[in-house]
Structure 1
Amino acid sequence: MAWLESYFQTVWYGGRRPFVLLRPLEALYRRVVSKKRQTFLSNQSSIYKPRAPVLVVGNITVGGTGKTPLTIHLIEALLERGLRVGVISRGYGGKASKYPVLIDERSAASEVGDEPLMISQRTGVPVVVDPDRVSAAKFLESANDLDIIISDDGLQHYKLWRSLEIVVMDVTRGIGNGRCLPCGPLREPLCRLESVDFLVINGANTSTLPSNIESQFRVHGAPLELPTLYPMNIRADDVVALSGREQEVLECQEVYGVAGIGNPSRFYTTLSEVGYQVIERPFPDHHHFQQSDFSLMQDKPVVMTEKDAVKVVSLGLVNGWYLRVSAQLESTLIDDIISKISL
Structure 2
Amino acid sequence: MSAWRERLTGAWYDPEAGPPAWARLLEPFYRLVVRTRRGLYRRGFLRSGHPGVPVVIVGNLTVGGAGKTPLVILVAQLLVELGRRPALVSRGYGGAEPRHPHRVREHDDPAFTGDEPLLLANATACPVWICRDRLAAARAAAAGGADVIVADDGLQHYRLRRDFEIVVVDGARGLGNGRCLPAGPLREPPARLGEADLVVCNGEGHCPPGAVRMSLVGEEAVRIDASARQPLAAFAPGPVHGIAGIGHPQRFFDFLARHGVEVVPHPLPDHAHVPEGLLAPQDGLPVLMTSKDAARCARTPASAACWEVPVTADLGADAPRLRQALARRLGMREA
CA distance in 2 between counterparts of 1:37 and 1:98 reads 23
Q: Secondary structure at the match of 2:269?
A: coil
- The question of 1:231 aligning with 2:213 is answered yes
Q: Secondary structure at the match of 2:7?
A: helix
Q: Which amino acid aligns with 2:329?
A: K
Q: Secondary structure at the match of 1:23?
A: helix
Alpha-carbon shift at residue 328 of structure 1 (Å): 0.4
CA distance in 2 between counterparts of 1:278 and 1:11 reads 25
Question: Residue 320 of structure 1 corresponds to which residue in structure 2?
Answer: 306
Question: Residue 273 of structure 2 corresponds to which residue in structure 1?
Answer: 288
Q: Secondary structure at the match of 2:311?
A: strand
Length-normalised TM-score, structure 2: 0.91
The 5 A counterparts of 1:296-311 are 296=281, 298-311=283-296
Question: Residue 335 of structure 1 corresponds to which residue in structure 2?
Answer: 324
CA distance in 1 between counterparts of 2:229 and 2:290 reads 20
- The question of 1:122 aligning with 2:123 is answered yes
Q: Which amino acid aligns with 1:116?
A: P
CA distance in 1 between counterparts of 2:116 and 2:5 reads 21
**Would the alpha carbon gap of residues 30 and 173 (structure 1) be closer, same or farther in structure 2, given more than 3 Å must change?**
same
Q: Structure 1 regions of 5+ residues with no counterpart?
A: 205-209, 215-225
Paired residues in the alignment total 324
Q: Which amino acid aligns with 1:339?
A: R
Q: Which amino acid aligns with 1:327?
A: A
Deviation string 1:12-62 (CA, Å, 9 cap, x unpaired) is: 101322221222321111111111112222239942111110000000111
Length-normalised TM-score, structure 1: 0.89
Q: Secondary structure at the match of 1:49?
A: coil
- The question of 1:193 aligning with 2:200 is answered no
The answer (yes or no) to whether the contact 1:118–1:306 under 8 Å persists in 2 is yes
CA distance in 2 between counterparts of 1:2 and 1:235 reads 31
Question: Residue 179 of structure 1 corresponds to which residue in structure 2?
Answer: 179
Q: Secondary structure at the match of 2:211?
A: strand
CA distance in 1 between counterparts of 2:19 and 2:46 reads 40
Question: Residue 30 of structure 1 corresponds to which residue in structure 2?
Answer: 31
Deviation string 1:92-131 (CA, Å, 9 cap, x unpaired) is: 1111565321100231211111111101100021111111
- The question of 1:273 aligning with 2:273 is answered no
Moved over 3 A (4+): 246-250, 292-298
Deviation string 1:247-277 (CA, Å, 9 cap, x unpaired) is: 5667223210100011111111111112221
The answer (yes or no) to whether the contact 1:256–1:297 under 8 Å persists in 2 is no
Alpha-carbon shift at residue 193 of structure 1 (Å): 1.5
Question: Residue 154 of structure 1 corresponds to which residue in structure 2?
Answer: 154
CA distance in 2 between counterparts of 1:186 and 1:97 reads 27
The answer (yes or no) to whether the contact 1:233–1:327 under 8 Å persists in 2 is yes
Deviation string 1:227-262 (CA, Å, 9 cap, x unpaired) is: x52111111142110111145667223210100011
Q: Secondary structure at the match of 1:162?
A: coil
The answer (yes or no) to whether the contact 1:168–1:202 under 8 Å persists in 2 is yes
CA distance in 1 between counterparts of 2:194 and 2:43 reads 17
The answer (yes or no) to whether the contact 1:49–1:160 under 8 Å persists in 2 is yes
CA distance in 2 between counterparts of 1:298 and 1:308 reads 21
Pick aligned residue for 1:263 from 244, 248, 273: 248
Q: Which sits farther off after the overlay, 194-203 or 9-18?
A: 9-18
- The question of 1:240 aligning with 2:227 is answered no
Q: Structure 2 regions of 5+ residues with no counterpart?
A: none
CA distance in 1 between counterparts of 2:218 and 2:229 reads 18
Question: Residue 63 of structure 1 corresponds to which residue in structure 2?
Answer: 64
CA distance in 2 between counterparts of 1:122 and 1:44 reads 39
**Would the alpha carbon gap of residues 298 and 75 (structure 1) be closer, same or farther in structure 2, given more than 3 Å must change?**
farther
The answer (yes or no) to whether the contact 2:68–2:168 under 8 Å persists in 1 is yes
